[in-house]
Amino acid sequence: MRVLELETENVRNYVNHLFEMVKSRNPNEVEFHQAVKEVFDSLVPVLVKNPTYIKLRVLDRMVEPERFITFRVPWVDDEGIVQVNRGFRVQYNSSIGPYKGGLRFHPSVNASIIKFLGFEQIFKNALTGQFIGGGKGGSDFDPKGKSDMEIMRFCQSFMTELSKHIGPDLDVPAGDIGVGAKEIGYLFGQYKKLKGAYEAGVLTGKGIDSGGSLGRKEATGYGTVYFVEEMLNEKGYSFTGSTVVVSGSGNVSIYAMEKAMELGASVIACSDSSGYIYDPNGINLDTVKRLKEVENKRIKEYVKAHPESTYVTGWKGIWTIPCDIALPCATQNELDFESAKHLISNGIKAVGEGANMPSTLDAIDEFLASGVLFAPAKAANAGGVAVSSLEMAQNSARIFWSQEEIDAKLKVIMKTIYKKSMEAATEYDFPGNLVVGANIVGFMRVADAMIEQGVI
């Protein structure tokens, strides 16, 4: 026992030392540090049991991206004025497949955000069981208030540079915040024109007529609910009859709400970056879809169609609403310690992360310490990228699967992620801790492939 304690102490020192190095090599990149810390803390028991990972410096290698590209994105707005944005792509890890991960267009995008997302993507993609490496990209371009033609010109300029670095067997971007089927369409068109070939598998999340997959749009939200339902069922709970709060009103949030409702839950609140709506009768999803998917309006407009609902400015207050299940589906660090405390004192049963890193580290600790069932993003929101991988498979084979086929595959993938993460958590003495379990499963798959492929 004493020996194990000593070894654990040594490994903890090694991991802490490595974390300090990550911080000094990537100064001020707080989101990136946060994502690394969460993974590192989970891996101590694995490194104690498998010292080869330390000997071969697997973690030291994994935390350093294989490649990090930044580039200028100049474009002309509708007034004829030249605008300049910054483009990014991190090609983080290609040991289990081509780099794979979305593009985010949002003014907050910087190196830290791209690296945190790219680092998370490595483990998430490994968890899906598919053959996809980890990558991420984006720009500080703000699509809000831009005309369609401005978005198109921006996407074309962005792709003119990005096209030099991607390809169906090399790096396959997709959407994320600010990038949906419309942007992917413009990006794909420009890539096709530059290459002079129809390489559909270079991007995922395409429209159906451009080689997209049925079920991709819904996959992240549906997948999150499938995962959480699995977690709930094990404790004898279910979405059926539960009250649910879902933050955000973008692609992930809308389809998480849809599936939760289909399973018989009452979804009573959702939000956008300006504020949240609370509808005691249950959110009317058709109204949210019309506002967000068709009219490009603010969520505040919802109350006009549903006078019994209320709108509150500011997005944080959504977590003070009493509910059984919370699904943060907006953005990173949207759910902090104080919000976790509110949810816990209101009797929350489960939290499922649809967004990437929506809970702060102290919020996660608080949920786990209070016995709240917690489904971490890497596992719970992996359905989106999993169906992206199915889109790549269809493009390669020149086949087209039905919605039912995709949904059945998605369900199996989410159930398998849950099962494997739970098993790993038990094996490494953190029973029920899906944060630790998911990080371990993702890490070991990538680490073993890296070892097989030598020091490269």
Structure tokens at 159: 């792709």
Contact call for residue 102 and ligand GLU (CB under 6 A): yes
Contact call for residue 134 and ligand GLU (CB under 6 A): no
One symbol per residue from 200 to 219: x for binding ligand GLU (CB under 6 A), - otherwise; what is it? ----x---------------
Among 46, 152, 174, 413, binds ligand GLU (CB under 6 A): 174
Query: What is the number of the residue whose Cβ is closest to ligand GLU?
Result: 102
Number of residues engaging ligand GLU in binding (CB under 6 A):
11
Q: Which of 115, 136, 192, 349 is catalytic?
A: 136
Helix (H) or strand (E) holding 358, with range, is: none
| DSSP 8-state assignment for residue 74 | E
Q: Smallest gap, in angstroms, from Cβ of residue 111 to ligand GLU?
A: 17
Q: Smallest gap, in angstroms, from Cβ of residue 258 to ligand GLU?
A: 18
Q: Smallest gap, in angstroms, from Cβ of residue 101 to ligand GLU?
A: 5
Contact call for residue 115 and ligand GLU (CB under 6 A): no
**Helix orientation angle between 30-49 and 434-452, rounded to the nearest 10 degrees:** 80
Structural contact between residues 286 and 312, judged by C-beta atoms closer than 8 angstroms: no
Q: Radius of gyration (Cα) for the chain, nearest Å?
A: 21
Distance, in Å, from the CA atom of 47 to the CA atom of 7, rounded to the nearest integer, reads 10
| Chain mean position to CA 191 | 25
Among 384, 395, 407, 435, binds ligand GLU (CB under 6 A): 384
Contact call for residue 29 and ligand GLU (CB under 6 A): no
Among 176, 183, 324, 366, binds ligand GLU (CB under 6 A): 176
Q: Which stretch binds ligand GLU (CB under 6 A): 184-192, 228-236, 361-369, 381-389?
A: 381-389
- Say which residues have a Cβ less than 8 Å from residue 255's Cβ, sequence separation at least 6: 217, 218, 219, 220, 221, 222
Q: Give percent helix, percent strand, percent coil of the chain, each to the nearest 5.
A: 55, 15, 30
| Closer Cβ to ligand GLU, 124 or 342, answer by number | 124
Distance, in Å, from the CA atom of 204 to the CA atom of 38, rounded to the nearest integer, reads 28
Whether 136 sits among the annotated catalytic residues: the reply is: yes
Q: Which stretch binds ligand GLU (CB under 6 A): 275-283, 383-391, 433-441, 444-452?
A: 383-391
Contact call for residue 385 and ligand GLU (CB under 6 A): yes
Among 94, 309, 388, 421, binds ligand GLU (CB under 6 A): 388
| Closer Cβ to ligand GLU, 217 or 292, answer by number | 217
- Say which residues have a Cβ less than 8 Å from residue 101's Cβ, sequence separation at least 6: 92, 117, 118, 121, 125, 134, 135, 136, 137, 173, 174, 176, 385
**In 50-127, alpha helices (H):** 52-55, 58-62, 111-127
The residues binding ligand GLU (CB under 6 A) are 100-102, 124, 174, 176, 204, 356, 384-385, 388
**Among all residues, which ones are annotated catalytic?**
136
